Structure formats: structure tokens, C-alpha cells
Structure 1
Amino acid sequence: MTARPGDIDSAAIDSGAIDSRAIDRAAEVLRGGGLVAFPTETVYGLGANAADGAAVARVFQVKARPPSHPLIVHLGGAEHLDDWAAEVPAAARLLAERFWPGPLTLVLRRGRRVPLETTGGLETVAVRVPAHPVALALLEAFGGGIAAPSANRFGSVSPTTAGHVRAELGDAVDVVLDGGPCPVGVESTIVDAMGEVVSILRPGGVTREDLEAALGRPLAAPATSPVRVPGQHPSHYAPRAQVVLVEPEEVIAEAERVQESGHQVGVLLPPAFAGAEVKAHAVVALPASMAAYAQRLYAFLRELDQRGCDLIVASLPPEQGLGAAIANRLRRAAGPRPTA
């Protein structure tokens, strides 16, 4: 079966049932060294055969991603963990048992089958089992690990629908599997699990509170680990518009000030100010639920770009639970942009 770049296999899920033809076609593309974008519970991933250095190199090329930034290897189940990691400490096995499938990535020592292209030249490997039926069906049909960062240009807003993938990457992806909107909406939590002392390297869909409850002890501070992982670049998850962060009670005044100065301002309006009139180009009223906010965060940023905003005024949510992941993404989105 020949892949036709430009297609979206929108029948990947049909009335709750997965289209096995679409899955088989995508698995064949992966075996041939091609690229498949597929849904996970977090964001859409741009996948390649994790054991094929040449295929992985194409992921970096399509994303314009620095080759030193490691990729996450997606597995079909925790039973495959020892195939990809040189050693798996007891804490890592406990977390895998508790949170997989799910939005948790474990950083472990690289197994010999993992090429350095996949790990960004590091002797560590990041692995997870996604909690999405299309992703799991693809992994089962393929029969190996799939290296997959988010399916977008490096540093830009992550995709949470198949349409986002095609709009940004176009025909550079051989197959796009459409599994609908991603239910979590922010990337996985990444933890350094190489020893019994576990630390969060990137907050995400599994909260610090849940990890500490599972381990029965507090997590170490992130600064204790020198490990390089995805999502650490100062400017990341960024829309085209500049993002400015202020205190929640200052959002309306700051938005109106910069709108009057000539900007086309978009506003992420905190729930406490729902219904308030704001003199701005575009206003998105944020949901009170952190889960709903996380699920739609990237769609909100894309919407404000599409509505012609050149500046977005936002504030950080309380940094408990999923609020920590949202705040991390907003800080990166507001980070210093690379100069031409």
C-alpha cells in the first residue's frame, strides 16, 4: 500500500471503532522509514521507527529541530520497557505500573537498541506508553518503538488536532491519523527515574501530587538533575503573537493599554473576570476547570493567531495540579524569541 502525502486518514476512528486499514497503512509507512503523525492523549506526535537512525533524522529535519534535543520513544506497553532501557530501577517500575498507559515519560539509561539519533546523542532514553486507542493500535501493528516529538515546527504551538498537523507540516508527513482532539492537551510529565530519587524535569499531564502519592514521598527539586529533555528551550510552545504575562488582576488593564498603543491584542481572560468587557481585538474566556484549560490551551493560542492578534495578554494559573503544566507552557510561550 502506497502512502499519499497530503492525506488525513480521518477514518482512524469510526463510530468508536478503529479503522484497521488506516492503522495497517501507517505501520507499513513506519517500517519503510516514513513519518506518521498520530494522536496521543496529550498532543499529536510526529512518529518514526525509533530504532531507525535515518528515519529519526527525518523527524528532526521536518520539525527543524536541533539534533541535540532528544525524542520520546512511545511503547505499546510496560512489558517492553526492558527492551529499550539498560536498567529500570524499582521506582521507575512502580510509576510505570501506576501511570501507564498515560501522560508520564520516564528518563532511563539508554538500551543498546536505541540509536543516538533518537536520544540527541545522550546515554539516556525517554520512554512512555500513550493512553490513546489509535496510538496503541498503531504501536501494536508496528511492533516496535515509535520516536515521536510533537507534530509541529520546533518551538511553535503543539498540535491537538489532525488539522493542526497538516496546517503546519503539510505534505512533509507521509500519513496523518485523525483520532479527534487530544483529551489532555498538554504534553506528558517527564521524570528523571534513573535512580530511587525521582525528580520532575517537565510538568505535564500527570501531576506532582499524583506522583508523590504513588511514591509515598516528596519528589526532588528539578535542579538536582542535569538531564536534557524535550521542552526545555527558553522559547517553546509559542504562537506567532508575542505573549505577555501579568498578574490576573492586571490582565484587562494591560490588554487595553497595549491595544490603545496600536497592537491587535488577544486576551486569555481569567475565570474570575468572566463576563467583563475588555477593549481588545479578541478575547478568550478561560474555563474554570484546569483540565478543560489544559485540554484547550494550544487551541486558544492558535485561535488568537488566526484572528490576527500580534500580542496576547495572559496570566499564570495557580501552580497546583495541572496548573503547574499550564504555567510552564505559558512561561515558555512568553520566553525570548530567537533573533533572525
Structure 2
Amino acid sequence: MIPFLDLKTQYLSIKPEIDEAVLKVLESTQYALGSEVFAFEEEFARYQSAEHGIAVNTGTSALHLALLAAGIGPGDEVITVPFTFIATVAAIAYTGATPVFVDIDPASYTMDVTQIEAAITERTKAIMPVHLYGQPADMDPIVEIAQRHGLVVIEDAAQAHRTEYKGRRVGSIGDIGCFSFYPGKNLGAYGEGGMAVTNNPEYARTMRMLRDWGQEKRYHHLLKGYNYRMDGIQGAILRVKLRYLDQWTEARRSHAAHYDRLLASLDIKTPIAMPYSYHVYHVYAIRSSERDRLKTALHKQNIQTGIHYPVPVHLQPAYADLGYQSGDFPHTEQVSTETLSLPMYPELTFTQVNTISEQVRNILNTLKAA
């Protein structure tokens, strides 16, 4: 079996450091926030070229607090994309604001910047681009439009640790950037975790209060806050793993390049790294009109795959109240029926990439001949 993700192999490769870090927290008894979390905030913010990091319990919480810090609330609108994990839209809904969708660019799978201005109304307060699959959205036009209309830019960077746009680390290009440390992410915790980064000290101060019951001083609550604190153990684990992220990212990029070479002649679309992009390949998503049959056949060959994402948010029953219909976002809808994510993680071997690619070739040839 070639797994879609192999977290155990990664853990074993750094086990002594992880175990030591966890035991250190257990001995310190700093289980919620604490020195390891605060150190990780500084280190990760610096890694993403931001001045402030606010560690929280999930990436969704980071998005929620970013929106609240920016003053987003009931009656406001936030422009984003329907081709994303549902947390992007859920965080907007948590504030009482309304998500407004624009379609994706069919090459990058990120926000089509040419559609943004037509979606802006007098109620629009923010733009939330999603850096999908490890590829950045086209940030310069987004920031320019936002500045011209007085809007906040909140980057959903949940899949974009180490991603760069024109040489700049994402998360620090807009007003606030939000990251997830869900276990399967390029930088993943051993549980849940998230972080917001910003260069705005007032946003940072507000988010720090909101994550900890709205208090800046213990038992003195300035805001109606939440229990969104990061666990000390996760902070310690993430500090260890951050030291390996450059190495792991280069391994992902090497695997992607190898996939690209082996799959180039097939009747599929491999990922396109845009000219402005340092792509970190959170997932390696190919496109095929035979997606479902290809997925089934690969599973029979003991190769696990994933689909990110089979149903766009605007067609999810949970968000039917937004009033969108099938056909509203044609690029999103077509991509959602064709994408298939192949195994992608640093510990993947070239032999495994060869095997996966050979099976993709054989299956597609068989389907073509049928």
C-alpha cells in the first residue's frame, strides 16, 4: 500500500526531538499557551516575514479572529472563492457576515482577480483569497483593489506554509494571514493548531485577547472572547517541526517535479506553478475527465488518493441559503469533478512516485482502449 499521507514515518524520523519537547512541556505543566507556544509564535511569524504571531487552536479559529479583529460583523460582506475547504466560508459566517463568491482561475485554482471588482458592493468589507494546494493567489492585484476600495485583505494560508508570491512569504502580504497546523498540513501538529500573523500591532493585540476570553490581564475581560488557545504540547511539537520545514518543502517540490516529468505525455493536466509562485505542493492534484474511474482503479492497485474538493462550497447543502446555483461558477464546478490528489509528502520515495505514475499511465491507457 502506498498511503496518501504517512505521518508515522515522519514522526519516527524526528522521534527523539519530539519526545524530548513533549516531556519538557509535561514537566513544566504549561499546558495551555505557555513559553513553548510564545516561542513558536515568534519563530513562525519571523519565518513568514511577519511581525506578530497569534497561536490558536485551529486554522478556522485564526480566520474567525482575523475577521473579528478587522471589524467584520453582521451586515458585512466578504469576497472569497467557493473552491476551498468549508472552513474558509464557515469563519465568515461565524461573524454574521455574508460570504460572496467569485470564480477561480482555471490554471492556478485560486481567486480570479478579474472578477473581484464586479462583486464589490457598499457592504463589502474584506477580500479573503485562498492560497490553494500550496500555490499563492495573485496577491498584487488583490491588494491593489483592496486599497482602492478601502477593504481589508485576509489571506487563507491554511495550505501555504513557506509558499512565496514574487519572493514574498504569504500571510504577510495582506493585512492578516491565517495558517492551519492540522496534522496533514506541510507543517502539522499532533492534534489541532492554527496561527494568525500580521504586521498590524492593533490587530495582533485584539486577536490575542479574543483567543483567551477577551482578557489582556487575568480575569479582566475587555472583549467578549473565546477559548481558542493553543496547547503547550502542540507549540513544542511545532517548534521542532518548523526546523525541518525548508528541507521537507524541497522534498515535496522534488517529488512534484518528478511527477511532472513522468506524467507529462498523458491525457491529464498536472499542476501549473504560476510564474509568480513558489509552490509548496500541499497536495499534488492532477485533472482528468476519468477522475472517478482513475481513483477506483488506483485504489485497487493499493494506491491511496484524495479529492480536494468534490463539492464546491456554493453547492453544499449547508450553504444553500446563500442562494447560489449550479452553473454560477463554471471553472470551480468543472475542476471539482476532475481533480484527483496523488500521494504527496516529504517521505515519499522516488520509487513510489515511479510506481504511482506507472499505474496512472497503465490505467489511463486501459480506459482509452476500452
Q: TM-score range by the shorter chain?
A: under 0.3
Q: If the length of structure 1 is used for normalisation, what is the TM-score?
A: 0.25
Q: Structure 1 or 2: larger helix share?
A: 2
User: Which structure's CA Rg is the greater one?
Assistant: 2
Q: If the length of structure 2 is used for normalisation, what is the TM-score?
A: 0.24
Q: Which has the higher relative contact order, 1 or 2, with Cα contacts under 8 A spaced 6 or more apart?
A: 2
